[in-house]
Structure 1
Amino acid sequence: MASTTDFSLTATPGRQLPVAVRAEGCRIWTADGREFIDACGGAMVMSVGHCHPRLIEALKRQADEVTFTYRFAFSNEPMLELADLLREISPMPRTWSFFNSSGSESVESAIHLALLYWQLLGQPAKTEFISRYPSYHGSTIAALGLSGTSRRDSFEALLTKNAVAQTPNADIRARRTPADEVEFAIKQLEDAIATRGADKIAGVFLEPITGASGAAVTPPDGYLQRVRELCTLHGLLMICDETITGFGRTGTWFGVEQWGVSPDVITFAKGVTSGVVPFSGMLVAGDVADVLMASPDGFPVGHTFSGYPLGCAVSAEMIRVIRDEGLLENARVMGQRLRTGLEAIAATTPHIGDVRGMGLLQGIEFVEDEESLAPRAGAAARVTAAARDRQLMIYSCPTALGSSVLETVLLAPPLNITSTDVDQILERLSDAIGAA
């Protein structure tokens, strides 16, 4: 029997976490007999719920054949199959793929790729990046350096300051029109490019919709199209971090498809295996990949488990499950049901300043009142704790913006969620908000 004392550094000081013993769909059962509804997929991971039988079977089947190959010694069939499937669903032309084990690793790989790309094109001075705030791109040093988040504070001495442009719609107190918000945000990017010099910038990193920073901050229509135009004009790679928005979360395979945009690189992770095994990767547009693959070394950077068969097999099956079960459509339909319910809750209280997101990625921002829209201090933690008391798991993500901390929570239930589950989430969440 496992120890009841947690000696792992994943422990939360001062708080005894419930011990999960079984999970299925959007439900988690604990050792003390409680049943939780997981409305956030842990950390936006569970695309098709916990322990989807087809993913578990794919893992077992592959484990009986080959579990590991080293990328410089062997290829493997699941990796080749996955690359083909990704080519079919990618929003970019002639897509190539590269695989890792975490979102941070894939962001690092995209950094490596961008630097190598410009070196091969004879522009080695293009080594800088522009990103936005608030944002979160990962916990490794380079990925954290791209992030506009207070999580970087303890490590600032090692980090590069890349997050120099504000994420559009992050500050609801500005009350700008959508058109004005686009102009405001694009002007910030233009100023950053002018200050640093396009001849020194390798690319622009952004999340189509934010995840852990700001809770589903969604850009106004026209913004991503303008970013694409700006990158093309100045010769910068447009790199979209779809760690959270990828694989159906917004109702399309990738979040950028909501705006018809084709970036140069997409990074992905989290939901690609619905939590069965760690896995991540990046998609690379054909014209960018052509430059790398024309060189003698190709893309020589990676990690020990890059393209390992177990992760590739589960990821390939995940794509087939989404297709076979019609989960893109379900994400749109259930996402609208969830959004309608959240807006109904917001109408009952002056302390919700915004409900936002797309599909089954929805965020709530708590405020003191509707007039000032000032953050309601501590609300995200209180609501999350009250939800947990009601056996509902949501994701608390208070987010620094200037001198303020935005009080936000995020919901990201599985794409195969039912209307009954959505209604139960809304009922428990409404009760938690009222109690907090």
Structure 2
Amino acid sequence: MDAVINFLNQTGFSLILDYPQTLIMLGIACFLAYLAIVKGFEPLLLLPIAFGMLLSNLPGAEMFHEALFEGGKVHWDLFGGQGDIMPGLLDFLYLGVKLGIYPCLIFLGIGAMTDFGPLLANPKSLLLGAAAQLGIFLTFVGARYLGFTPAEAGSIGIIGGADGPTAIYTTTRLAPHLLGPIAVAAYSYMALVPVIQPPIMKLLTTKEERKIQMHELRHVSKREKIVFPFVVTIFVALLVPSATPLVGTLMLGNLFRECGVVDRLSQTAQNGLINTVTIFLGICVGATATADTFLSLSTIKILIMGVTAFALGTAGGVLLAKFMNLFLKDKINPLIGSAGVSAVPMAARVSQVVGQKENPGNFLLMHAMGPNVAGVIGSAIAAGVLLALFG
């Protein structure tokens, strides 16, 4: 009978009585899984995140231990099983997040899948991608007023770039204790791009502006596409060295795509590698959303500030396009400015959809891809600036 009682006391059902808040986290995990599976909200990452959250909050499973990474450091001495902690599976997988490996590999895959031709064909779109980073820095200021430290405010602000890997990479270095809520907010808002952006785009533009038709983009030569990764990598590395890991891997992936001599590497980066890393990254990020860190007032603040950052980034791109039109002979449709956030290619598709509703003859997708891919570079540079200032 004593053995039976001892067994029952060790079950997760018994442990839930001691930690009832885990029930809330399990409910949140199931809700995120519902959004991914039923609603189709960014399922490739939201589903692994949801299940990672589920695994780390199951009482007694002991798959993730925050103590191993306490204080923003990896306590390597505890990974040998010394003391009271026996490292779990997610502890070992999380090292890829903590050491900045997974986000950089994701960028390698993104680079291999991205065509920078629209950006090269219309260099002005680089300005729109830069303007969309406005949300990052304005939200940084707002977060400071809400009582967050400079490092925490920087991590919250980067949500405005609508770039999950960059948000994760930045947060693991500046505010690792906030990784769970920041990552969930970043990917949730990326999934909600078609819901959040259109009202802002319509509010800031007139019907006539949304009807503006743009000329076909010029042809970009293969030589330009091959030289571009080298130029960007060298320039960014010299300007913001701390952004080199992200921008460098992004450009390496794009070079694989464009050079034409490493098709196997390009296909691996676009498919097998990025898919594998996405699984590991999602599960590990979800695992950091434990009840103790997620169920707090700061999480609510992060969610509010995150959507604010995203909205400001969208507005920044649109408003700069309107301002540029004051001086341009060939007008820009301001809707493409909203694609300056780096949710590739979803933000560009939203620009296309909203534009075609006003003018069925509008084909803005390729024009919007310019600021869209510029936003990827811009968010990485913004992250590098924040890391240089507060890292």
Smaller-chain TM-score bracket: under 0.3
TM-score, normalising length: structure 2 = 0.27
Task: From the two aligned structures, give the one with the greater strand fraction.
Answer: 1
TM-score, normalising length: structure 1 = 0.25
